[in-house]
Structure 1
């Protein structure tokens, strides 16, 4: 059985990193495996009791919401065809946060819908998937299966460390090439559907697609597991007389030994929205941020301390986010989470505090 398409799917990588397990472990339920053809299904379900106090708005609110990762169901297939393995994934992401606004009209979005061709040359992916820029920054976030900072609206999703350490690698139409594993070194390069960086509408002119790439390296030195990465993006858009060149670089390093893990990551960009990269930037102003985290795993338990910042000239915004989290594995498919988050954002020019929110989140996660 060839599991390349499973190992490289965005959700599987994300969950594997968050759980500190190999990507193939508990990744899917295999429904069919015969004559070189496989089909499997994976799922992710979660809900949190959330209590948030916002000192600036002078509000205290209690909700039942999902965590940073939405509830998801995914379908995977692979078929061996001579020297090639054809694969594919479709995943459907749904919110449970719309109870007050649309009780029977739950929103569903498709963040992954792609095919893969694997061979001795590596892999080619065609379709829609998460971008490469900031990809490892978010997928290796220690609180990925937690809750994180407040989202843009009371009923919206939480943001984890988005806008407080890294931007979101928004799923986009793409053609991506990945090299084989070269002694722990992997390289990925992609052309993606351009973001509308000038006007934020489809009226932008793009003479070339968006270019993104990522280099990752994994090694084990004297029982110390190391993961390092560098990723980036480049795009130029025009609208009438206005032209915006957007570019960014993300990077990070994670080290693990004897239950302890330390990681540091960051990004720097210009002409690029540091929250959602598909949104219009309009200018070529700068943004940068970093995230530092430490964790300790003992038995079925993991304790996490996380701190991140973003300084965005382009949005006139400064943020900081501190999280203390506790994760307990009841078994390999059932996890309990307790998290306390302290988030603050300020107007960069005036220094005025816009949001100062403390959030307690208690939740459960079920995977298959």
Structure 2
């Protein structure tokens, strides 16, 4: 019951003691009815207050000493007790949100911004790499988002009929300027009179219960490759700053420089309960087309992941390990044959006190590089193999955290494919320093050296420095 309703109810009931019985009855009835008609009191609140009011004040005073024996008085007192005990709006136990009856409404989000200077080499015949991520071109400065855009996530959850159910929405606005038709993740447009875009990448429902697990239906992060990006230190910062002269919603971080981007995809996914530290998840996914090709695929994609968590005790060793995979058939077109893309990855993150060590590796055939099914085949539809890895270490000293990582993604030529300027590898070194200003705000400085190599021997290198902050709530 709301504070206003409680206050008005108390005033109304108090008038019973100060007025004659007949006057109190008429005045209080009229007041409560008027409050109900105006929407200040709900039907439940109105009925409960009427039940409380109908119990004589003397009887209510004596109730604490003498148990109610009249069968007509018991329901009235029970209704009043329920009204006192039920807090219709109250704070959640954790996070930013509130409970409305049995429904939890929670908000979480992040905002970040960085000054980034990207130093690339002038274009030449020997530094052209098709699919290379090192900057080739003029030096550039930008105020931009890092690998994460900003985001605001809204979660609405409750329990109904023994099932825990929820609706989840995630909006990811950036601080970049973009042309109206380019979309949230299109090329930036650092011009006057432009606006930023909103990437609404999460919309999904969940239902589950203890012993059963959880089902997710909607759009959310994929299973394959998700732990690679979620454990990457550049997720908090910038990493490789491709397109820095006209930044889009995000930088690359280590995408294409150690792992393939997992992406946010339409899916129906089941996650098992945890068995000790083990958990299994699997799902069917919207089939993705080969980038640059027109396909109509008759079967969905499939992804699965197995994780294990060891929670540290008494400052001991903690661990998070995973293995995931995907498979998807691409149907033939009028110009290209059908093919099936497959990939598997595995990784582990170990922690001891304020130190962490992460290792990751993936390998695939017909999945491409940077993004799923980008450069996955040659012009004749023949599959290319790819693989990659990264290693990473962090050390905490009070509010300071130092981190470094190296990663590389490699793309092979298809069988019979001619040597060209096609990318052979993209790699980067990252050095990062973080300072926890508050529990919400972290200050970050970062240096990234990026290198791209082509199959014909071409090579490009670039350096970027970034400084800024990220906030989570």
Question: TM-score of the superposition, structure 2-length normalised?
Answer: 0.68
SS at structure 1 position matched to 2:331 = strand
Q: Does residue 215 of structure 1 match 2:306?
A: yes
Taking the aligned partners of 1:36 and 1:262, their CA distance within structure 2 comes to 41
Question: Using the alignment, how far apart are the partners of 1:267 and 1:256 within structure 2?
Answer: 22
| CA distance in structure 1 between the partners assigned to 2:284 and 2:192 by the alignment | 37
Instruction: Compare CA radii of gyration and give the structure with the larger one.
Output: 2
Q: Could you tell me which residue of structure 1 aligns to residue 347 of structure 2? A: 252
Cα deviation for residue 167 of structure 1 reads 0.7
Q: In the alignment, what sits opposite 2:447? A: 340
Cα distance in 2, alignment partners of residues 89 and 27 from structure 1: 17
State the partner residue of 1:47. Answer: 113
Residue 273 (str. 1) matches residue 339 (str. 2): no
**Structure 2 residue aligned with 1:146:** 237
| Aligned counterparts of 1:102 and 1:173: Cα–Cα separation in 2 | 35
CA distance in 2, matches of 1:27, 1:145: 23
Contact 1:213–1:233 (8 Å) recurs in 2? yes
Write the distance in 2 (CA, Å) between the matches of 1:334 and 1:278.
36
Does residue 172 (structure 1) correspond to residue 265 (structure 2)? The answer is yes
Return the offset for 1:238.
1.1
Structure 1 counterpart SS, 2:235? coil
In structure 2, the residue corresponding to 1:331 is in which secondary structure?
coil
Q: How does 1:277-296 map to 2 (within 5 A)?
A: 277=372, 279=374, 281-282=376-377, 283-296=382-395
Q: Secondary structure at the match of 1:143?
A: helix
Q: Structure 1 or 2: larger strand share?
A: 1
Deviation of 1:176 (Å): 0.3
1:220 offset after TM fit, Å? Answer: 4.2
Selected match of 1:352 from 447, 451, 458: 458
Structure 1 residue 329: deviation in Å? 0.8
String of CA shifts for 1:155-202, please: whole Å, max 9, x gaps: 2331010001001111110000000111010111010000103x645x
Q: Partners of 1:220 and 1:76 in 2: how far apart?
A: 26
- Contact kept, 8 Å, 2:369 with 2:376, in 1: the verdict is no
RMSD: 2.1
Q: How far 1:207 sits from its partner (Å)?
A: 2.6
Residue number in structure 1 paired with 2:197: 107
Once the two structures are overlaid, the 10-residue window that deviates more, 143-152 or 331-340, is 143-152
Gaps of 5+ in 2: 1-92, 123-135, 178-188, 414-421
Mapped to 2, the partners of 1:77 and 1:35 lie a distance apart of 12
Relative to structure 1, the CA distance from residue 272 to residue 95 in structure 2 (aligned partners, 3 Å threshold; closer, same or farther) is: same
1:128-139 superposed matches below 5 A: 128-139=219-230
Distance 1:291 1:140 in 2: 11
Q: Which 5+ residue runs of structure 1 have no aligned equivalent?
A: 1-25
C-alpha change, 1:278 and 1:313, in structure 2 (3 Å) is closer
Choose between structure 1 and 2: higher helix proportion: 2
Paired residues, number: 339
Query: How far is the alpha carbon of 1:251 from its aligned partner?
Result: 0.8
CA distance in 1, matches of 2:146, 2:115: 10
Q: Cα deviation per residue 1:197-225 (whole Å; 9 max; x = unaligned)?
A: 3x645x42323200001111011477110
Identify if the C-alpha distance between structure 1 residues 187 and 102 changes in structure 2 by more than 3 Å, giving closer, same or farther.
farther
1:226-266 deviation per Cα after TM superposition (whole angstroms, max 9, x unaligned): 11100110001112361121011111011100211111001
Q: Could you say what secondary structure the match of 2:295 adopts?
A: coil
With over 3 angstroms needed to count, the CA separation of the structure-2 counterparts of 1:186 and 1:204, relative to structure 1, is same
Aligned counterparts of 1:191 and 1:48: Cα–Cα separation in 2: 37
Aligned partner of residue 138 in structure 1, secondary structure: helix
Counterpart of 1:72?
A: 151
Q: Distance in 1 between matches of 2:191 and 2:332?
A: 36
Choose which of 263, 284, 292 in structure 2 pairs with 1:191.
284
- Contact 2:369–2:375 (Cα < 8 Å) also in 1: no
Q: 1:58 to 1:280 in 2, by over 3 A?
A: closer
Cα distance between partner residues in 1 of 2:298 and 2:94 = 40
Distance, in Å, in 2 between the alignment partners of 1:280 and 1:290 is: 18
Aligned to 1:29: 96
Deviations 1:270-292 (A, max 9, x none): 11122111546334210100000
1:36: Cα distance to partner?
2.2
Give, in angstroms, the shift of residue 300 of structure 1: 1.4
Instruction: Classify the secondary structure of the residue corresponding to 1:144.
Output: helix
Q: Which runs of 4+ in 1 moved over 6 A?
A: none
